[in-house]
Structure 1
C-alpha cells in the first residue's frame, strides 16, 4: 500500500489518500486483511461477522479488488438502503483516490453514478435483482457482497437464494455475506461457507433502564437529550426514533428547549437528522464535527443526531458517546383483510437493542439510556422476524418468475414463506393478469416486472398506458403523476395540509388524498416555484427526480425553463 501511483488508473496518489490510509489502517478489519484475502481465495463463500464500525463495509470489498479475487470482473456490494449505498460509495471512492462514478460507483433506484470503468459498485439489493432479470448469471461480477444480511429484507433473501443457485453454475463467483450480528450460523450452513469473526473496538457502555415503563417515549427522549446536554461531559448524542415526522418534530422541540441554554457554560449544540428521504448533502451533515466552543474557555460543543434505525448498523457516526434508545422502530405491517401494508411503530428486538447500545462505545466509554425497563428488554424477541415471513409475497413471486425460476415452492429460501402466502399471491396476480393459468408471467406481467415499483402501482401504470393508447380515456398522464408521488415519501411536511395558505389549499380535494396529490403535481407544472419552494412542502430532490423520471415529458413541456434550470442540479434526464 506504499506505492506512489494508483493501481486502478496509474495516477499519482494524493496527500488525502495517505491521510485516509492511516485512518483505514486503524480499523479493526484492516489488521485481518491478509486472513480475509486468504479465506476469499480459498473458499467460494465467506461469512464475515463484525460489529458495526469495524470497517467491513468499506474495506473488505477493497481487499478483494486489490487482491484480484474477482478476476477481470467487477465487484458488487449490495445495501438494503439507498442512503447507505451512496454514502459508502462516496467514502470508498475518496479512500481509493478516484472520482465517484469512475472506478467506484453506485446504483440506486432513479440514480446512477457508474461507468464502463467501474470495478466496485455499491447498489441496493433491488437494483441487483432487476439486473438479474436481464443477466441471470450476473456475469459482469466476479464477487458479490451482501451487506447487512442480518436485516433479512425480502430482496436480500431473494438474492441469497439466487446466489445459492448461481454458485452451482459459476465456479468463478465469490460470495461474501457480511453481518453485524453474531447469529450467523444459518448463513454459514446455507452456503457451506467459511466464517471469520472480527472483534470491534468498542469501549464499555453503561446501560441505564427505566425503573418503570414510561407513558410517552417521545417526551422521555426529549427530556433525556436535554438532560444529557446539561449534565453529562462532552460527547455527541444519538437518539433512535421511528420515522421522519417524529424526527422533525423532535428537532423543532429540541431547538426550542435548548435555545435558552447558556452556550458558554454548557457548550453550543447542533441538532442533526438522518432518514432516507434526505438529499445526499443533507445526509452528509451528520458526519461533520460538533460545533467549536463559543468562547476561549467555553465548554466544547456537541451534536445531537436524531435517526431512524438506519444508524444501528448502516451508518457509523464518529463521536457518539450517548445513545437514547426509545425501544421502537418502524416496520412494514401487512393487513390481510385489506391486502395493504403500512408502516407501524413496533418494539425492537434484543439484537437491535444491542446494536444501538454499541454505537455509544466506539471511541470512548459511553452510556446508553434505554427508555424501557429491564424486564421489557428480557421479553423482547431475540431477533427481527424476516420480512419475507411477515409480508405479502406478490412482488417476490413476480421477481422470481422474472428470473425464470421454474418452481417457486422449491426455490432455496433461507426461510420459506408459507404455501398459503404463495396461493394468495397467485390469486391476486392472476386477477391482475400478471400471471396466466399456468402461473407464468404474461407479456403484461413481464412489463410489470421491469418497473422498480410496488406491484399494485406497476399494474396501475401499465394499465393506464394501455388505456392511453386506446385514445378513449386520457388517464395515462394523471396516473403517471400519481404513481410518482406515491413512490416517494409524503410531499407534505408535518401537518402542512392543515396549515396551508389559500394558494395551496386550492389543491386539496375534500375526499381524496390521491386527487390532492395529482392536483399538487399539476400545480407544480403550472407554477413550479410556488410548489417547490413553499415551506410547507417537502418537495426534495428525490421527489423531483422521481416525478421527472416517470413524467419527464410533462415536466419539460409544461415548464421547460424551470426544467433546464433544475436539470443539472438534480441530475434529471436530458
Structure 2
C-alpha cells in the first residue's frame, strides 16, 4: 500500500544555518527545473548543502508528496548522520517525518516522508518490489563513489522508472547527485538527462602539496599532524568513510596521504584482496572538502601537484574490480532474465560474471532451467539474508551440524566493525587479558568465546573496559544476531547449539568457506588451495605463531605480502567432503 499523502504545506521559515548554505540562493530555480524532469544529474561542490536541502525543498514544494523521498548513501554512518541532521532542521523526532534504513538497523514509520538509506538497503527493498512503488523520488547521492551497490541500483531505478511508465503508474523521479562525477557518462546512461550545476561552496579551502614525492606516506602523515597541532588539538584518523556527505564538527585541517585500501579481484585466479593504492582525483577533492564544511579550511596533500595530475580522474567502479557473487545473487533474486545482459552503466567483464556464477553454483545457489540461470530453493533462501553469499550459506548449513546458535554469533561478529581494541601502549596487558579467551582452533572460536563471556556479564561496560572490548560494537553485534535469528525463524530453520563441541562449528565453516582455504607447505609457507597464491597468517590472528596444516579464512589483505585475516583451523578432509568436484578440478589444473 502507498503511505497516506501528507498535506501540502508552505515552506517553513528557513533557519539562519539553512539560509547561509550556497544552495539556498538557487532554491526557486532548482525546484522549477526539477519539477518538470523525470531524471536529472545535480552537481554541487562539497558543502553546498545539496544532500540535506534538496530532499527538504522537494518535500516543502509538494514534489513527490504521493510517496516517500529516498536519499541513498554509500555508507551507514552518513545515512544515519544525515537523517539526524535533517530531522533536527525540521524540528521533528528522528524516525517520524525523517527516518533512515541501514543494514541491521531501521528507524522509520508510516509517517516517514524523507528516508535516508544505504544503497544496499534500497536494493534489498527492490527484491521484494522491483518498481519501488512506495517511493516517488529516489536521490542517488555520492554517485561518484561508484560502489558496487550504487551501480546495481542505477540499473534497478532505471528499470523501475521504465516499468512504471509502461504500466501507466505514478512516475518515479530520479536525481543523481555528487560533487565530482563523470557527468557525460551518467547523462548518457539516463537517456540524455539534463545536468544542473550548483555554484559555490560555503567556505574556502586552501590546498598545499608537497614539493617532493614522499617515500613513506605514514611517516609524512605523522610529521604533518605534529607540525599542524604542536600537540594541542584533537586528531581524527579517518578511513574513506569521511569522503561522503558527512560533517565532522571542528575539522579545519585535512591531511591527505593520497592512499586508499581498495578491493581488487582477479576472475582468472579467483583471488580477491584488499590492496593499498593511489586515490583518484575525485577522491582527493572529496577529502579536501571535509575541511571547509563549517569554516575556511586547509588540506595538506602528501604528494606533489605533478603526482596529482597523473592520478586517475575518477575512481574505477567497484563493480569492475570486485567479486560479483553478491551482485549476481541479487540480480537473480530480482528475477533479471539474463545477468550477462543487465543494463550496467559500466559493464563488468563477462569473465567476472561467469566466475561469480561458478561460485554460486559451487555454493548450490543457482541452476540452469530451460537454458536460463535461476536461483535454487537454497539460493532464494540465501538471498533472504543481508550477507555475502558465503555467510548466508554458512548459516543455512548450520542445522546440518547442530550449531546454528554458534554460527549466528560468529557471522554477526564478522558483520560488524571489530569488537576488540588494542592500545599499543598497553600491549602486554592486552595480551595477558586476551589469553583467557584464545582458542587454539582460530579467530572465529576466539571471538565466539569473547561474545559468550560478554553475554555472561550482561554486557557490563566495566567488564568491556577491563577486557579491551568495544561495548558499542558488541551491542551492535547483538542486534545483528537478533535480526539474523529472526530471518532463520521466518525460514523455519532449526536453531540448535553445539554447546562445548567446537568441531561441528569448524566443520560448518569448512563446508561454506572452502573456496577460502590454504594449506601449509613443506617449506613452512601457506598456499591457497584454489589459486595456489602464497599467503601468510596476519599478525593480528591468534594463530600467528602457529603452523596449522589447513585453515579457512575470511579475507586476504595485501600490504607488504598477502595476509589471511580471521582464520579457523580445519581438517583438509572436510574441505574435500564439502566440494569434491571443485577440488578434483583444482588438482587437475595444478598438475597441468
In structure 2, the partner of 1:207 is 207
Alignment partner, residue 470 of structure 2: 538
Q: Is the 8 A contact 1:48 1:176 kept in 2?
A: yes
Task: Check the 8 A contact 2:267/2:351 in 1, yes or no.
Answer: no
Q: Give the equivalent residue in structure 1 for 2:342.
A: 411
1:27 matches 2:26: no
SS of corresponding position for 1:437: strand
| 3-state SS of paired residue (1:412) | coil
CA distance in 1, matches of 2:455, 2:266: 36
- For 1:223, the equivalent position in structure 2 comes to 223
Q: Hey, what does 2:446 align to over in structure 1?
A: 516
Aligned position for 2:86: 92
Aligned counterpart, 1:188: 187
Is the 2:143–2:181 Cα contact (8 Å) retained in structure 1?
A: no
Alignment correspondent of 1:248? none
1:30-77 CA deviation, whole Å, 9 max, x = no partner?
A: 211122212222111011111111111111011111222214211111
C-alpha deviations, 1:204-257, integer Å up to 9, x for none? 544322233334322322222222234xxxxxxxxxxxxxxxxxxxxxxxxxxx
Structure 1 segment 277-296 matched on structure 2, within 5 A: none
Report the secondary structure of 2:368's partner residue: coil
Aligned equivalents of 2:181, 2:72: Cα separation in 1: 20
Is the CA contact (8 Å cut-off) linking 1:389 and 1:417 kept in structure 2? Answer: yes
CA distance in 2, matches of 1:83, 1:126: 13
Partners of 1:403 and 1:43 lie apart in 2 by 27
**Would you say 1:77 and 2:5 are equivalent positions?**
no
Distance across 2 between alignment mates of 1:109 and 1:373: 39
Q: Which among 449, 452, 455 is matched to residue 383 of structure 2?
A: 449
Residue 547 in 1 paired to residue 481 in 2?
yes
Q: Cα 1:531–1:346, aligned 2, differ >3 Å: closer, same or farther?
A: farther
CA shift, 1:9, in A, is 7.9
CA displacement 1:272-323 (0-9 Å, x = unmatched): xxxxxxxxxxxxxxxxxxxxxxxxxxxxxxxx44322222232134654332
2:100–2:108 CA contact under 8 A, matched in 1: yes
Give the aligned partner of residue 489 of structure 1.
417
Unaligned runs of 5+ in 1: 1-6, 231-257, 259-267, 272-303, 468-472, 559-574
**Compared with structure 1, are the counterparts of its residues 355 and 397 closer, same or farther at alpha carbon in structure 2 (3 Å cutoff)?**
same
- Calculate the aligned-residue CA RMSD, in Å: 2.9
Conserved? CA contact 2:69–2:137, under 8 Å? yes
Q: In the alignment, which residue of structure 2 is the partner of 1:463?
A: 397
Secondary structure (helix, strand or coil) at the match of 2:299 reads strand
SS at match of 1:176: strand
Question: Structure 2 unaligned runs (5+)?
Answer: 166-170, 490-494, 500-592
Per-residue deviation at 1:506?
2.1
Which residue of 386, 393, 399 maps to 2:317? 386
Q: 2:308 aligns with which of 362, 368, 377?
A: 377
1:125 deviates by 0.9
> 1:506 aligned to 409, 418, 436, which one?
436
1:424 Cα deviation (Å)?
0.8
TM (norm. structure 1) is 0.76
Aligned to 1:238: none
Aligned-partner SS, 2:41: strand
Partner SS for 1:314: coil
- Range with bigger deviation, 147-156 or 70-79: 70-79
Moved more, 352-361 or 41-50: 352-361
After the TM superposition, which of the residue ranges 203-212 and 151-160 deviates more from structure 2? 203-212
**Whole-Å separation in 2 of the counterparts to 1:86 and 1:413:** 28
Aligned twin of 1:117: 111
C-alpha contact (below 8 Å) 2:47/2:289 kept by paired residues: no
Q: Structure 1 residues 539-548 or 346-355, which shifts more?
A: 539-548
1:504 & 1:531 partners in 2: Cα distance? 13
Classify 1:363/1:137 alpha carbon distance in 2 versus 1 (closer, same or farther; 3 Å): closer
8 Å contact from structure 2 (residues 137, 173) kept in 1: yes
In the alignment, the residues of structure 2 paired with residue 431 and residue 99 of structure 1 have an alpha-carbon distance, to the nearest angstrom, of 47
| Number of positions where the alignment pairs a residue of Structure 1 with one of Structure 2 | 472
Give the TM-score of the pair, scaled to structure 2.
Answer: 0.74
Taking the TM superposition and a 5 Å limit, the aligned residue runs for 1:90-489 are: 90-171=84-165, 172-191=171-190, 192-201=192-201, 204-230=204-230, 258=231, 269=233, 271=234, 304-317=235-248, 319-334=250-265, 339=270, 341-362=272-293, 365-438=296-369, 439-465=373-399, 467=400, 473-489=401-417
Q: Displacement, 1:201?
A: 2.1
8 A contact 2:22–2:202 mirrored in 1? no
* Cα distance change on mapping 1:334 and 1:519 into 2, 3 Å: farther
Name the CA shift for 1:420/1:197 in 2 (closer, same or farther; >3 Å): same
Give the deviation of 1:533 after TM superposition: 3.9
Q: Distance in 1 between matches of 2:321 and 2:8?
A: 50
Shift of 1:337: 7.4
The 1:182/1:80 distance shift into structure 2, 3 A limit, reads closer
| Residue number in structure 2 paired with 1:299 | none
Aligned to 2:585: none
